[in-house]
Amino acid sequence: MTQADDATGAVPPGPADTVDAIAQHLVADLTRRGETVAVAESLTGGLVVSTLVGVPGASAVVRGGVVAYATPVKHTVLGVSSALLAANGAVDPEVARQMAAGVRIALSVDGEPATWGISTTGVAGPDPQDGKPVGTVYVGIASADGATAWELHLDGDRGAIRTASVSELLTRMSSVVRGRE
């Protein structure tokens, strides 16, 4: 049995929740707070934003998404440092932070950045990339207060790694948003 959140009556997401349930909680929390989110994706190729917009009412909070699959697009569209990309490649925690920070700005509305920027970059396989093994993923979250990233080591085939990346990012984002209350 789960316990309802005292302020909203909503049950906070837990480890057994599906990615769709986590997305529903996140959209509800952002809606209640009047906040917005912008998404920058690489290895997930649009799965994060697709999961979010699958939630009824998501249009109130989701600004949109940028699939920056090609490494140069991370620089030209999201503002990731070209020197960083040249030195470390696209699979790097600082790249995830800069992608998240950059998408907040890239998807500004009337000069106002999104409240949150979130990002994914990593190696879904089947081959290693930038010296990183398959399953190495970085997820980033940015706000006006700064950006952070987490390193993940995921198992499975390409599809499983991509799906797990979405779940991990949305779970962490939900925790960050709830931690600000």
Domains of the chain plus CATH, in order, are: 35-179 (3.90.950.20)
Burial class of residue 148 (count of CB atoms within 10 Å of its CB; 0-12, 13-18, 19+): middle
Closest CA to 46 of 33, 62, 22: 62
Which tokens hold the place of 99?
């992608």
Question: pLDDT tens, position by position, for the chain (181 residues)?
Answer: 233 344 444 555 555 579 999 999 999 999 999 999 999 999 999 999 999 999 999 999 999 999 999 999 999 999 999 999 999 999 999 999 999 999 999 999 999 999 999 999 999 999 999 999 999 999 999 999 999 999 999 999 999 999 999 999 999 999 999 998 6
> In angstroms, rounded to a whole number, what is the distance separating the alpha carbons of residues 21 and 15?
11
